[in-house]
Amino acid sequence: MTERIPGLFVTGSDTGVGKSVAAAWLAGHLNARYWKPVQSGLEEESDSMLVARLAGMEAGSVFPETYRLNAPLSPHESARRDGVEIRLEAFRLPDAGDAPLVVEGAGGVLVPLNARDKMVDLMVRLALPVVVVARTALGTINHTLLTLEALRHRKLEVIGVILSGPPNRVNREAIVGFGGVELLAELPWLDPLDRERLAAVAPWDGVAWERLRRRLGR
């Protein structure tokens, strides 16, 4: 498929795998805007703030979250504790104009949003092609292949994978080979993690990145 797309949905094989860091890398390289529909946990720096900082984005390039939930828990439980019910109908893809939109999920694809719907149901509603962020460490092959199966089962288009962590050739080749996916980038562990170091990470050398840029009009 090569038609024009308005943006990407960044999901992950798990929580804490580096979705926000990957979203910042994407937003920086694509000069994109960013939206986090569901933020669980408001005590520390929010994902919107982290991405804006790491991508050097102006505040106006970050769309407000639809749900801001207090506890750093699965959205269904965090919402319950706040006395809120997450409703799929409440989500509207923001209009980013000519800029691509990078959307970041919460947790992985099957985390519940309420008593019925999961994150993947929101992904189907938004209908954006998907980027999967995965760890490089042991365990990642299983988690990533399960995530890819769940996405394809719902007919969501998978654009590619971004790996996060110390490079591991064996795991990378297994994910690409068994998953039938392309690699967009391998983000090494950056210490310190800052805007300059993240911007300096080059896309994976292959056709996937250039094809994605064209489809996003970049």
Binding site for ligand ATP (CB under 6 A): 12, 15-21, 47, 106-107, 164, 187, 189-190, 193
Name the residue nearer to Mg ion (CB basis): 20 or 144: 20
Token pair 């911007």 in the structure block, residue: 199
CB 144 within 8 A of CB 28: no
Nearest to 123 by CA among 149, 88, 96: 88
What gap in Å lies between CA 211 and CA 148, rounded to an integer?
20
Report the nearest approach of ligand ATP to the CB of residue 70 (Å). Answer: 14
Q: Say which entry of ligand ATP, Mg ion, none residue 190 contacts (CB below 5 to 8 A, set by partner kind).
A: ligand ATP
User: Residues 23-62 vs Mg ion: string with x where CB under 5 A?
Assistant: ------------------------x---------------
Using CB under 5 A, pick the residue from 19, 76, 143, 172 that binds Mg ion.
19
Report the nearest approach of ligand ATP to the CB of residue 16 (Å). Answer: 4
CB 208 within 8 A of CB 160: yes
Name the residue nearer to Mg ion (CB basis): 17 or 176: 17
What gap in Å lies between CA 200 and CA 194, rounded to an integer?
10
Q: How far is CA 213 from the centre of its chain?
A: 16
Name the residue nearer to Mg ion (CB basis): 6 or 37: 37
Token pair 């969501």 in the structure block, residue: 156
The token duo for 1 is 């498929």
Annotated catalytic residue 155: no
What gap in Å lies between CA 95 and CA 7, rounded to an integer?
10
Report the nearest approach of Mg ion to the CB of residue 178 (Å). Answer: 26
What gap in Å lies between CA 199 and CA 150, rounded to an integer?
31
Token pair 């504790």 in the structure block, residue: 81
Q: Is 20 in the site for Mg ion (CB under 5 A)?
A: yes
Report the nearest approach of ligand ATP to the CB of residue 98 (Å). Answer: 26
Q: Is 14 in the site for Mg ion (CB under 5 A)?
A: no
Q: Is 65 in the site for Mg ion (CB under 5 A)?
A: no
Kindly list the residues in this chain that would bind Mg ion in the complex (CB under 5 A): 19-20, 47
The set of catalytic residues is: 36
